[in-house]
Chain A
Amino acid sequence: MAETAVRVSKPRARPASMRPLAGSRFGRKVRRNLSAHGFLIGAVLCFAFFSWYPIVREIIMSFQRTRLGVTSWAGWRNYITIFHDPTFWLAWRNTLEFTVLALIIGYAVPFFVAILLNELRHARGYLRVLVYLPVMLPPASALLLFAYFYDPTYGLFNHVLQAVHLPASQWVQSSGTGVVSTAMISVVIAATWMNMGGATLIYLAALQNIPGELYEAAELDGAGMFKRIRHITVPQTKLILSMLLMLQVVATMQMFVEAFILTNGGSGTAVVSVVNLIYTYAFALSGASNYDSASALGVVLMLVLAVFSGGYLWLSRDRD
Chain B
Amino acid sequence: MQPRTLISSAQLNRPRGRIIYRVILTLVIVIFTLVFIGPMYFLFSDGLKSTQEAVQVPPTIIPAHLHPATYVSAWSRVGIGRLLFNTLYYAFGALALQLVFDVAAAYALSKLRPVLGNVIFLLMLATLMIPSTVLVVPQYLTVASLPILHLNLIGTPAAIWLPSVANAFNIFLLKRFFDSIPRELIESASIDGARPLRILRSIVLPMSRPILGVVSIFAVVAVWKDFLWPLLVEDGYNPSRETLNVGIWQAVATTPQNLIIAASAIAALPTVVFFLIFQRNIMSGLTAGALKG
Residues of A within 8 A of B (CB): 1, 3, 6-7, 10, 13-14, 32-33, 35-37, 39-40, 42-44, 46-47, 49-55, 57-58, 61, 115-123, 126-134, 136-142, 144-146, 148-149, 153-156, 159, 162, 193, 198, 201-202, 204-208, 210, 212-213, 215-216, 219, 225, 228-229, 232-233, 240, 250, 254, 256-257, 260-261, 264, 275, 278-279, 282-283, 291, 294-295, 298, 301-302, 305-306, 309-310, 313, 316
The 9 closest A-B pairs by CB, nearest first: A212-B4, A36-B114, A36-B112, A43-B105, A42-B101, A39-B108, A54-B138, A46-B165, A141-B264
B260 in contact (CB, < 8 A): yes
Contact of B105 among A39, A129, A159 (CB under 8 A): A39
What is the predominant secondary structure among interface residues of chain A facing chain B? helix
- Cβ-defined contact, B245 with A140, below 8 A: yes
B136 touches A37 (CB 8 A): no
In the complex, are the beta carbons of A208 and B3 less than 8 A apart?
yes
Q: Which one, A205, A215, A219, A291, contacts B141 given CB within 8 A?
A: A291
| Residues of B in contact with A, size category | 35 or more
B residues within 8 A CB of A130? 32-33, 36-37
Whether B62 sits at the interface, judged by CB under 8 Å, is no
Chain B residues 63-122 with CB under 8 Å of chain A are 100-102, 104-105, 107-109, 112-115, 117, 120
Interface pair B187/A37, CB less than 8 Å apart: no
18 contacts between A and B (CB under 8 A): A7-B187, A7-B190, A51-B166, A53-B147, A57-B141, A61-B137, A137-B268, A137-B272, A139-B227, A149-B42, A154-B54, A154-B55, A193-B39, A212-B4, A225-B6, A250-B131, A302-B134, A309-B130
Q: Which chain B residue has the least Cβ–Cβ distance from A198?
A: B286
| B8 proximal to A (CB < 8 A) | yes
Minimum CB–CB distance from A255 to chain B (whole Å) comes to: 9
Q: Which residues on the A side are within 8 Å of B117 (C-beta)?
A: 36, 40
How distant is the Cα of A117 from the Cα of B7 in the complex, in angstroms? 12
When distances are taken between beta carbons in the complex, the residues of chain B under 8 Å from A140 are 227, 244-246, 248-249, 264, 267
Contact of B36 among A131, A153, A207 (CB under 8 A): A131
**Residue B123 is within 8 A (CB to CB) of chain A in the complex:** yes
State whether A14 and B58 are in contact (beta carbons under 8 Å apart), knowing that A3-B113, A139-B245, A310-B129 are contacts in the complex.
Answer: no
Report the minimal beta-carbon distance from B9 to chain A, rounded to whole angstroms.
8
Give min CB distance, A204 to chain B, whole Å.
7
Q: Which residues of B contact A (CB under 8 A)?
A: 2-8, 12, 21, 24-25, 28-29, 32-33, 35-37, 39-40, 42-43, 46, 54-59, 100-102, 104-105, 107-109, 112-115, 117, 120, 123-125, 127-143, 146-147, 162-163, 165-166, 168, 171, 183, 187, 190-191, 193, 195-196, 221, 224-225, 227-228, 232, 244-246, 248-249, 252-253, 257, 260-261, 264-265, 267-268, 271-272, 274-276, 279, 282-283, 286-288, 290-291, 293
Docked CA distance A146–B120 (Å): 43
Q: How far does the alpha carbon of A301 sit from the alpha carbon of B132 in the complex, in Å?
A: 11
The answer to whether B249 and A144 touch across the interface, beta carbons within 8 angstroms, is yes
